A and B are shown apart, each in its own frame.
Chain A
């Protein structure tokens, strides 16, 4: 039984791994399973609309029920629900894109993203998992966690995403200390070249971070001449404080730490 659930999960992951349509034989090969086994699992997944069969090619792809589950997952995040209006106002005030993230193991998971209000083509980053140490959201969140969690994060994987990514645990520890002193985190092209982010933690009634909210945009606009844009920073900190207050009011549900 448990094995079947695992196998079904691995089928879903395989279908979600870039090649959007796979046949039974391809799936069986990739997973090292018998075709009959894959077929049985696929039929069960298809009944629940977790996968669907492409009428033209006869191959399988992810199904519409997953979108509903994904939305249910997002809706379950108190921080996301509470952040919608705050994030809109922050984007309007700063004329930049806004992201809200929650910690997810070694990554910061983007649970809300408001586009830069300039009508340019942008890509929705909800669902993106950014290595925590390469993101202002991730660093702001990490700085306001307990010592044991910080130790775990610093001992975990710290991949280099650009030449500017901070990858030495001791350097990161110092960065986190300064974030706690200043109350905000800066990311200067540490995840993507040309892009910067200013973020502040959203904390619960104990002062621990449940996530963070931040403004992300071109480095020349957020860090002109290498200096933090004070007006944007003030707006980010204000919104993060407001959000934290909101969450403190529903402390029974703020349980994502």
Chain B
């Protein structure tokens, strides 16, 4: 447990531990989603990548939070194939860079980090909401997080809203026809399937919500 206004490397470590655990548990589910519309490797790739990233953090857990995020991002880029490695890796690396060496950060700073992640994903993928990608969960989650902060939520409340909004965005991908990624040129077969990228992004926010709740204590 710690101070919600002074989130440090330990917060990042816990967040990534939660994320890696969830991804591992849901590996087959993610792969199954991807098999319907992509290359059937999302779960396997994400599991391998987050396991490698977590191992790196556990071995050197003491840096400032930005360094830890950058290490996670770099590991993901290097160890994850497909589109997920470059997207998640670069986005998390940009979150780390946005911290600019700070020893701690607060809920407002987290909003800046999340926006940096979205900017990077959109720079790489040129995707908008409705294209059936990570952005469909990421963008509404960040908006909800900001609304939470503006209406007086603390970190726990705001991350909880973010998770709910990501989940809603994720579910909204089901009826869509993908207009980015491999699924976009394989015809209509993506319709009726939930987007695997939006699903893993929702898990990213679920992990964040749990980490914030733990940080706040009982």
Show the binding face of A for B, using Cβ within 8 Å: 16-19, 107, 120-123, 125, 127-131, 160-165, 189, 191-195, 218
Contact = CB atoms under 8 A, between A and B. Distances in A.
A165 B126 contact: yes
A185 B218 CA distance: 60
B26 to A, nearest CB: 17
Given A123-B38, A162-B180, A193 B86 contact: yes
A239 B199 CA distance: 41
A18 B186 contact: no
Contact of A18 (B83, B124, B191): B191
A19 to B, nearest CB: 7
Nearest to A194: B83
B167 interface: no
Contacts of A120: 41
Interface of B: 35, 38-41, 81-87, 122-126, 177, 180-182, 184-192
B186 A128 contact: yes
Contacts of A122: 39-40
A194 B185 contact: no
Given A128-B185, A195-B82, 11 more contacts: A16-B188, A17-B191, A18-B191, A162-B125, A191-B182, A191-B185, A192-B83, A194-B83, A194-B86, A195-B83, A195-B182
Nearest to A192: B182
A193 B181 contact: yes
A194 B85 contact: yes
B191 A162 contact: no
A162 B123 CA distance: 8
A189 B177 CA distance: 21
B128 to A, nearest CB: 10
Contacts of A123: 35, 38-40, 182, 186
A127 B125 CA distance: 24
Contacts of A218: 81-82
5 contacts: A125-B186, A128-B185, A129-B185, A161-B180, A218-B81
Contacts of A161: 126, 180-181, 184
A123 B126 CA distance: 24
Contacts of A193: 83, 86-87, 124-125, 181
Contacts of B86: 189, 193-194
A8 to B, nearest CB: 19
Contacts of A131: 185
A163 B82 contact: no
Contacts of B192: 18-19
A114 to B, nearest CB: 15
Nearest to A221: B81
A161 B124 CA distance: 10
A16 B122 CA distance: 31
Contacts of A160: 126
B106 to A, nearest CB: 31
B37 to A, nearest CB: 8
Given A163-B123, A218-B81, A17 B182 contact: no
Contacts of A107: 185
Nearest to A160: B126
B60 to A, nearest CB: 25
Contacts of B35: 121, 123
Nearest to B193: A18
B188 A17 contact: yes
